[in-house]
């Protein structure tokens, strides 16, 4: 397996993955657009996997206390057959919310892989993300300013946000953007919707990464030693950038809206469509 990128490209792609996975502007879309725009070769599957596991580690670093509490509460809820503990409910909501993306990924894997080769399609899906962010903010105006917290979420909320995450399998549809937008539409407070979005991403990143590792095991491993440097660098940059992006967005959404990210996706989507259409 000969890695097709150098260290500078690894740093740039690691930064893109770490920042755009959590800031609602679509990491998958940017990871398609950047190599296409700069004329780079497509990175290896192993490199892509490690970028995503870098953002997985970022979530674990920021929310490790939450995960410990949820794991403990989940086991207690199974033993006691009770969902009285809010941490147990959130754990179950994450499990339920993960199922739609798992089913969609298994059913439409080949079709989704084809879209990842089409920058113009990414441009159109960025417009979808812009619309989701804009209209969710419009819907928010109909709710109270405070909104609901994670402790007040329901099964209906978890299912709706999980379905939104499934749509993020399309490159250009932001996973964080679609799930935060769904949370806002259901009446969840902005920063709380973002928090649940990040927690919900953990099993998705882990499961997708494991599937990619299985595929990597079937690839030619020759030249792996030379590929380790960009892989390690990309992983570290993705992790550090992801930690900063999570903390930034949680603070940002306490008092600000998603309109700026909607505008960004609109402009970038239109730009990509124009460039791919007129060259």
Q: How far apart are CA 84 and CA 146, in angstroms?
A: 23
Q: How far apart are CA 244 and CA 61, in angstroms?
A: 11
Give the CA distances from residue 242 to residues 87, 145, 253, in Å, rounded to whole numbers and listed in that order. 24, 28, 16
- Is 99 part of a structural domain of the chain? yes
Q: How far apart are CA 214 and CA 218, in angstroms?
A: 7
pTM of the complete model: 0.92
- Is 265 part of a structural domain of the chain? yes
Which CB contacts under 8 angstroms, 24+ apart, belong to 57-61?
57/239, 57/242, 58/18, 58/22, 58/238, 58/239, 58/240, 58/241, 58/242, 58/243, 58/245, 58/246, 59/198, 59/199, 59/201, 59/202, 59/205, 59/242, 59/246, 60/202, 61/239, 61/243
Tally of domains in the chain:
1
pLDDT at 227: 74
What lies within 8 Å, CB to CB, of 127 at 6+ separation is 265, 266, 269, 270
Q: Which of 35, 64, 61, 63 is nearest to 48 (CA)?
A: 35
Q: What is the span of the domain harbouring residue 205?
A: 7-278
- Is 1 part of a structural domain of the chain? no
- Six-digit token pair at 181? 């937008």
Burial of residue 105 (number of CB atoms within 10 Å: 0-12, 13-18, 19+): middle
Segment 147-184, tens digit of pLDDT: 899 999 999 999 999 999 999 999 999 999 999 999 99
Q: Which residues of the chain have pLDDT under 70?
A: 1-4, 141-146, 218-226
User: 148: which strand partners?
Assistant: 188
pLDDT at 136: 92
pLDDT at 62: 97
What lies within 8 Å, CB to CB, of 224 at 6+ separation is 1
- Is 138 part of a structural domain of the chain? yes
Q: How far apart are CA 27 and CA 5, in angstroms?
A: 18
- Is 2 part of a structural domain of the chain? no
**Conformation bin of residue 188: beta by default, left when phi > 0, alpha when psi is -120 to 50:** beta
CB environment 204-226: b (16+ within 10 A), e (fewer)? bbbebbeebeeebeeeeeeebee
User: Can you say whether the dihedral through the CA atoms of 44, 46, 52, 58 is positive or negative?
Assistant: negative
């Amino acid at each position: 397996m000969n890695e097709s990128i150098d260290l500078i490209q690894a740093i740039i792609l690691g930064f893109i993955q770490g920042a755009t996975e959590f800031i609602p502007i679509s990491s998958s879309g940017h990871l398609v657009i950047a190599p296409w725009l700069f004329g780079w070769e497509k990175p290896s599957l192993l490199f892509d996997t490690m970028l995503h596991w870098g953002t997985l580690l970022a979530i674990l670093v920021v929310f490790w206390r939450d995960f410990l509490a949820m794991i403990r509460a989940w086991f207690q809820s199974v033993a006691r057959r009770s969902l009285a503990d809010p941490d147990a409910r959130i754990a179950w909501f994450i499990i339920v919310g993960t199922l739609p993306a798992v089913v969609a990924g298994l059913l439409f894997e080949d079709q989704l892989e084809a879209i990842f080769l089409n920058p113009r399609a990414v441009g159109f899906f960025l417009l979808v993300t812009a619309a989701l962010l804009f209209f969710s903010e419009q819907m928010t105006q109909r709710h109270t300013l405070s909104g609901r917290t994670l402790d007040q979420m329901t099964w209906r909320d978890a299912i709706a946000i999980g379905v939104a995450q499934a749509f993020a399998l399309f490159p250009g549809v932001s996973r964080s953007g679609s799930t935060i937008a769904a949370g806002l539409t259901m009446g969840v407070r902005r920063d709380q919707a973002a928090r649940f979005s990040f927690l919900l991403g953990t099993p998705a990143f882990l499961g997708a990464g494991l599937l990619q590792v299985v595929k990597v095991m079937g690839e030619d491993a020759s030249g792996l030693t030379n590929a380790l440097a960009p892989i390690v660098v990309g992983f570290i940059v993705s992790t550090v950038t992801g930690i900063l992006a999570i903390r930034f967005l949680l603070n940002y959404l306490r008092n600000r809206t998603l309109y700026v990210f909607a505008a960004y996706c609109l402009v970038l989507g239109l730009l990509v469509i124009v460039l791919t259409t007129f060259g």
